Each structure stands twice: as structure tokens, then as C-alpha cells.
Amino acid sequence: MVRAPHTSFSEDRIVSRLEDPLIVFDTRGKVWYANERFWQFSGFAQDEIVGKTIKAFLPPQEHERVFGVLNQVVAKRNIIQDFHAVFATKSGKTIPVSFYASPIGNIKKGFATLSDMRQLQGLLEGLRHAQESLQDRVKERTKELEAKTHDLEDTQKALLNMLEDVQDAKARAEEERSRTAAIISDLVDGLLLLGNGGTVELLNPAGERLLEVTEQDAKGKKLSDFSSSIFLTCLAKLLETQKSGEELFRKELQVPEGQERALEVTSVALPGSNQSLFILHDITREKKIERLKTEFVSLSAHQLRTPLSAIKWTLRMFLDEEVGPLSQEQKAFIARAYQSNERMIELINDLLDVTRIEEGRYLYRPQFAQIDELARAVVQLFEEEAKRRNITLIFQQPAEKLTRVLVDTEKIKIVVQNLLDNALRYTPAGGTITLSFGQDDTHIVVSVQDTGMGIPAVQQGQVFERFFRANNAKKVDTEGSGLGLYISKNIVQAHGGTLSFVSEENKGTTFTFTLPIKQEIEEFLKKF
Amino acid sequence: MKRIVLIEDEKLLADLLKKKLEEAGYETTLHMNGADGLHAIQTIKPDLVLLDIVLPQMDGFAIMEALNKDPDLKSIPVVIVSNSGQPVEIERVKALGAKDWLIKTEFDPKEVVVKVQKQIG
């Protein structure tokens, strides 16, 4: 503790130990006392401080202002608080300070304590920093929030877009569904959807009309639960006998005779579903047209037969010279006319056979026959013609005796006849026609092989169509009706057999037909 | 002389048949529609009827049905001269009692006479 020599101010220990720097000054600003903290603070020694004016501790620009204020403290006995000024240390460093100044008793002196503002400023600075950093953080956070908001907005937008998309998709799906519904309901064909267990799930208006039952009545029930229409009953029967997984394609619904309406059923596979879809197609009109066409052909053919018969009979009378003798030339001409007429009759007969096949009226009279024997009789009819055309006709006797089969012998003869006739027509002179036979456990096989012009590859798919004639065949022979193979195929199929061929243009053709030995041929024949 | 009623609407065929039958020694009357033909059978009561199926006014089936209902006429043999030769048609006339049939396009007039002779000599 150091005492101030020139002062009546009795310091005490408290003052000297004050934490803040303290000075005592008079009206002229002369310093009378400074405590230890002041020495340390200002950098001056005690004896360098006492006796100096306050100005010695202030930078020049602060002299007047600080002096004026402190003078007021002593002269007017004001107390000032928190008066900010700049302090100058011995080393010339300036320190911001805050003064607290008060007069002391009646001794015309006052004291002032200084607070180092640096700390405060540091604090403030710190605060400012803190504030700034807070602000920064707030800003950052705000930015983040903004970014997040942005993100959220984006997300929201995306969600809205998605929602829109979903709504669009939904709208589209609804549109699609209503379009599908419209198509289903407006469809000319009947649609029948059966669910698991064969219950009706959907029946469109056309289906309602064709089956004569409303969807409302049919829904959830089985077809066999109804007997409202003959078509429904027959459809139920058809589906019952249908093997599972077997597809129906344009199968005509078998209904008792006398029904004007005719229906075709097609099944549509719905993969991965227990449901089965059926399309009901009304073929009443087609059937009617087909029937009218058949009737027309049948009628015209009949009408043609009458005058042809008259011509035939007349020519025959001439040929038999019943109406007087003829010259050789006259006879030859009339014989040719008679042959032409015969061909015409054959053609008409073919046409009638076709219409009968199509009407299902082509009757069959089954009897047991030895096919090779039956064929031999036909071959004999062609021997003369083959010789005339210089074609070798070979009848290849079967190696083993063929099993007798149940056939309509007249119809099978027509098949052999048609095949031999074609072979002869379309095989050039010098060629060979071979008729051969075979047999396995289930079928008799008959082949007619020729070394003829063959059937052009592009036309081979049409061979069994009505009125089909191959391009190369038409050039050689203008007479064929194009009905023989159609009729033959129908005959063979009615027996439960098949008729097929292999052919190469300019090399030859082999037609082969099979006839079942033990199969339920009677079943087939019963149908006719 | 044995009498034949020929019912056939195709004039040329009818004339040819009539000529053939007459040449073979049969008294033949020709009728061009079904009603006339039936009336002729009822009045003449012939030894044989040669009958076409498709005829104006009354077809061959109807004539046969009418004959079957009449005990006096039932036993008169009928030979069908058909245009079609369709098995259904043949089955039907057989069921109605036709003795024989021939299909115009497949037979010569000569053979008609043979068939007639087979029935009534």
C-alpha cells in the first residue's frame, strides 16, 4: 500500500484495493491521488501521476470534453455515471473507458473510477458476435428453412403433380373403363364372363338378347340354374361337356331343329384367371344366306337336270337310230354331243353333292368292304383312258390282305374315282400313276401317286376349297369343276378319316386318304 | 293292252317316254300336272303309274299319299321318274310304296321300258 504524500484525503484500505482504477482530482483537473489499479491501468508510476492534470491521461481530442465534465463534478457537485471517454496510457495506447465521478465532501475535490470498456466492449463484441452469429445462424437456419421450405414446396409440387398424374391416370382409367364398358355393352356379339365355379359375372346386352336372360337375373348363378331359353340350356350343356382348358373356336351351338336363331361360341383364354370368357356370335343371317345359296344352287341344278335329261334321251334315241339311220359322221357328232352332255350332267351332280354336303343331307349307307377290291373296280374304269393317254396305271396289290372296314362303298368309290381322274388329267403322256395300299393298327391307307404337273406351292393351301383349280391345271384342262377334291375330303372326313397330299410342281403329286378300322365310324355315319 | 298313266311336266321327256312306251306296246296317257294325273288314275285305273315328283298343282308325294288312301288304287304299282335322285327323296317314295324309281339323268328311255316290263310284263 502506497500513501499519497500530498493529500489530506485519507485513503483507506478499501479505496486502495478497489478493483477499478480510481483518481481524486480538483477543479482544475489536477490529480491528487490514484490507486494502485490506476497505476497499473495507466502504466504510469504513482509519482508520475499525482500533480499532473487529468489531461495527461487523455488523448488530445478528449481533453476539453472530459475535463469539462469532471470540472462540473467538483464545481457543481454533479455525479456522473457511465460517461464514456477514451483513456491514453503511458505507452500511448488508447483504451475506451466509462467514468463514474462524484464530488467528495466539501473539499472541492472529486473522484472518478474508470471501467475498462474493452472488457465490456469485448463482451458487447462477443454479444455482437454472438448476435451476429446468432443472426447468421438464424439466417443460415432461415436459409435452410427456406431451402427446406423450397424443398417442401418442391415436394409439395411434386406431390401435387403426382396427384395430378394419379388423377389423370384415374381419369384415363375411368375413361378406359367406361369406354370398355361402352364397347362391351354396344358389342354386337354377346359376351359372357363366368367366374370361379361357373357363375355368371358379366353378360352384355347382346348376350342378354341371345340367351334370353337378363344380366341381373343371371349374375351370381350358374348357367345350369336356368332354363329360360333353349340356347342357355344348350350352352350350359356344351360347357359341361367341354374338357377343361379346351378352347372353343366358332363352335356352332347345337340346338334342336326348328330354331331360327343360330349361335357360335368362342372361348377366350384369360391367363392367370379363374374366369372364362365366351363370345356368342349370332350367325342366323350367315346361316340363312348359306341356306339360301345352297337352296339356290340346288334348285338351279335341278332345273338344269331336266333339260339335260331331255337332251340326253333325245341324243340317245338318235344314236340308237330309233328315228332313222345316221351316217358315220352324223353318228360321231351326236356321240360327241352326248359326251358333252354327260359331262354337264356330272358337273351338275357334283354341284348337287356339294349342296347336300353343306345341308348335311349327303346320306351314307355303311357296309363292310375290302377297300382294295373296291378300288380295283374303279381302276378298271380308267384303264382304257390311261392307255389312250399313254400313261402307265399301276395297281399295287397290298402285301397283306386288308381288314374289311365299314364304309359307304359308293362314296368311297367317288373318292378313288376323283383322285384317279385328277391324276390322269394332270399327268403328261409317258407318266405313271400308282395306286397303293397300306394298313396299320387303326387305319387303312390308300395312296394315288402320279408323275404329273404337281400343284404350285403357293396354291397348295386352297386345294380342298370349293371351285379351286390350280393355275397350271387350268391351262391344260378347262373342264374340271374344282369340286372333286372338296367332295372327296368331305366324304373321307365323314368316315372319320383324313385326305392329304404332298406335291411338287413338275414332279408329281401323291394324294393319301385314310379310313379308320375300328373307330366309332358308325358314330360319324350316324350323323348323315 | 296294258294301260299306263304317265305324269310328267317336261314336254320333251314326256313325249319321248310316251313314244317309247307305246312302241313297247303300252297304252299310255300323258298328264302334265299332278291334279290331272290323279284324276286320270282315278278314272282309268291303269296297270301302272309312271310318276314324276316335282309337278305343278300337286306333287308326286301328294299323289302317292292320295293313292294309298284309296283301297281301289292302292295296289297300282308306281314307278317314280325322278329328277333329283336325292336319297331322302328316294327313301320317302319307297316308304310311300313306290315299286321302283329311276333318275332321269342316269337312265336311257330304253331302261324305263325295262323297268316297266319288270313290274307289269
Percent above pLDDT 70 for chain A: 91
Mean pLDDT of A348-376: 79
Burial B44-80 (b: 16+ CB within 10 A, else e): eebbbbbbbbbbeebebbebbeebeeeeebeebbbbb
Three-state SS for A508? strand
> Is the model more confident about A141 or about A8?
A141
Q: What is the mean pLDDT of chain A?
A: 83
Mean pLDDT of A188-193: 87
Best of B55, B59, B86, B112 to substitute, by most chain A Cβ atoms within 10 angstroms, is B86
Rg, chain A, Cα only: 63
pLDDT at A528 over 50: no
- The backbone torsions φ and ψ at residue A202, rounded to the nearest 5 degrees and listed phi first, read -150, 140
pLDDT at A357 over 90: no
Closest CB from A314, A345, A361 relative to B16? A314
User: Is there a contact between B86 and A309 if contact means CB atoms under 8 Å apart?
Assistant: no
- Taking the CA of residue B10 and the nearest CA in chain A, the distance in Å comes to 7
Is residue B32 less than 8 Å (CB to CB) from chain A? Answer: no
Is residue B10 less than 8 Å (CB to CB) from chain A? Answer: yes
Kind and range of the H or E element at B79? Answer: strand B78-82
Residue positions counted in chain B: 121
Asked if residues A238 and A219 have their Cβ atoms less than 8 Å apart, the reply is: no
Confidence of residue A16 (pLDDT cuts 50, 70, 90): low
| Helices and strands in chain B, H and E counts | 5, 5
For residues A100 and A79, what is the distance between their CA atoms, to the nearest angstrom?
8
Three-state SS for B3? strand
Closest CB from A302, A305, A310 relative to B12? A310
For residues A499 and B24, what is the distance between their CA atoms, to the nearest angstrom?
49
> Is the model more confident about A126 or about A348?
A348
- From residue A400, give the alpha-carbon distance in Å to each of A378, A396, A405, A437, A440: 20, 11, 15, 10, 11
- Residue that has been written with the C-alpha cell 394298313 in this structure: A439
Interval A368-421: pLDDT, tens:
889 999 999 889 888 988 999 999 999 999 988 888 888 888 889 889 999 999
User: Is there a contact between B84 and A308 if contact means CB atoms under 8 Å apart?
Assistant: no
User: Is there a contact between A306 and B84 if contact means CB atoms under 8 Å apart?
Assistant: no
Is residue B15 less than 8 Å (CB to CB) from chain A? Answer: no
Rg, chain B, Cα only: 13
Sign of the alpha-carbon torsion through A153, A158, A163, A165: positive
Closest CB from B16, B83, B84 relative to A313? B16
Mean pLDDT of A467-484: 78
Q: Is A480 left (phi over 0), alpha (psi -120 to 50) or beta?
A: beta
| Chain B environment of A316 (Cβ under 8 Å) | 108-110
pLDDT at B106 over 60: yes
Mean pLDDT of A20-47: 87
User: Is there a contact between B84 and A302 if contact means CB atoms under 8 Å apart?
Assistant: yes
Best of B32, B105, B106 to substitute, by most chain A Cβ atoms within 10 angstroms, is B105
pLDDT at A486 over 80: yes
Is residue A300 less than 8 Å (CB to CB) from chain B? Answer: no
Q: What is the ipTM of this complex?
A: 0.74
- Residue A183 CB contacts under 8 Å (≥ 6 apart), including other chains: none
- Residue A125 CB contacts under 8 Å (≥ 6 apart), including other chains: none
For residues A486 and A16, what is the distance between their CA atoms, to the nearest angstrom?
141
For residues A356 and A333, what is the distance between their CA atoms, to the nearest angstrom?
35
pLDDT at A259 over 70: yes
Nine-digit cell at A184?
Answer: 362391351
Q: What is the mean pLDDT of chain B?
A: 89
Asked if residues B80 and B48 have their Cβ atoms less than 8 Å apart, the reply is: no
Best of A313, A320, A361 to substitute, by most chain B Cβ atoms within 10 angstroms, is A313
| Chain B environment of A309 (Cβ under 8 Å) | 10, 13, 83, 104-105
Closest CB from A305, A307, A317 relative to B16? A317
Three-state SS for A114? strand
User: Is there a contact between A316 and B83 if contact means CB atoms under 8 Å apart?
Assistant: no
| Helices and strands in chain A, H and E counts | 15, 17
For residues A17 and A8, what is the distance between their CA atoms, to the nearest angstrom?
19
Residue of B nearest to A322 (CA): B20
| Chain A environment of B109 (Cβ under 8 Å) | 313, 316-317
Interval B68-101: pLDDT, tens:
999 999 999 999 988 766 666 778 888 999 999 8
Closest CB from B13, B83, B110 relative to A302? B83
Mean pLDDT of A284-299: 78
Confidence of residue A523 (pLDDT cuts 50, 70, 90): low
User: Is there a contact between A313 and B87 if contact means CB atoms under 8 Å apart?
Assistant: no
Angle, helices A409-425 vs A484-494, to 10°: value is 150
Is residue B54 less than 8 Å (CB to CB) from chain A? Answer: yes
- Residue A136 CB contacts under 8 Å (≥ 6 apart), including other chains: none
Kind and range of the H or E element at A34? Answer: strand A31-34
Strand order across the A80-88 sheet: A31-34, A22-26, A109-116, A94-104, A80-88
pLDDT for A301 equals 73
pLDDT for A245 equals 63
**Poorest-pLDDT segment among A36-50, A112-126, A277-291, A438-452:** A112-126
Residue A423: burial class (beta carbons within 10 Å; 0-12, 13-18, 19+): buried
Interval A213-231: pLDDT, tens:
888 888 888 888 877 778 8
Mean pLDDT of A156-164: 81
- Residue A253 CB contacts under 8 Å (≥ 6 apart), including other chains: A231, A234, A235, A238, A262, A263, A264, A265
Confidence of residue A4 (pLDDT cuts 50, 70, 90): very low
pLDDT for A415 equals 93
Is residue B117 less than 8 Å (CB to CB) from chain A? Answer: no
Chain-centre distance of CA A175, in angstroms?
17
**Poorest-pLDDT segment among A131-135, A322-326, A432-436:** A131-135
Q: Is A265 left (phi over 0), alpha (psi -120 to 50) or beta?
A: beta
pLDDT for A522 equals 52
Q: Strand A367-369 to strand A405-407: parallel, antiparallel, or no bridges (unpaired)?
A: antiparallel
Nine-digit cell at A518?
Answer: 375300328
pLDDT at A310 over 80: yes
Mean pLDDT of A470-492: 82
pLDDT at A362 over 80: no
- Taking the CA of residue A188 and the nearest CA in chain B, the distance in Å comes to 38
Closest CB from B13, B86, B108 relative to A310? B13
pLDDT at A25 over 80: yes
- Taking the CA of residue A346 and the nearest CA in chain B, the distance in Å comes to 9
pLDDT at A526 over 80: no
- Residue A221 CB contacts under 8 Å (≥ 6 apart), including other chains: A199, A200
| Chain B environment of A357 (Cβ under 8 Å) | none
Asked if residues A206 and A182 have their Cβ atoms less than 8 Å apart, the reply is: no
Closest CB from B13, B87, B110 relative to A309? B13
- Taking the CA of residue B66 and the nearest CA in chain A, the distance in Å comes to 25
Is residue B87 less than 8 Å (CB to CB) from chain A? Answer: yes
pLDDT at A7 over 60: no
Is residue B113 less than 8 Å (CB to CB) from chain A? Answer: no
For residues A427 and A508, what is the distance between their CA atoms, to the nearest angstrom?
8
User: Is there a contact between B104 and A305 if contact means CB atoms under 8 Å apart?
Assistant: yes
pLDDT at A346 over 60: yes
pLDDT for A167 equals 82
- The backbone torsions φ and ψ at residue A515, rounded to the nearest 5 degrees and listed phi first, read -135, 130
Considering the entire predicted model, what is its pTM? 0.48
pLDDT at A143 over 90: no
Asked if residues A363 and B88 have their Cβ atoms less than 8 Å apart, the reply is: yes
User: Is there a contact between A309 and B54 if contact means CB atoms under 8 Å apart?
Assistant: no
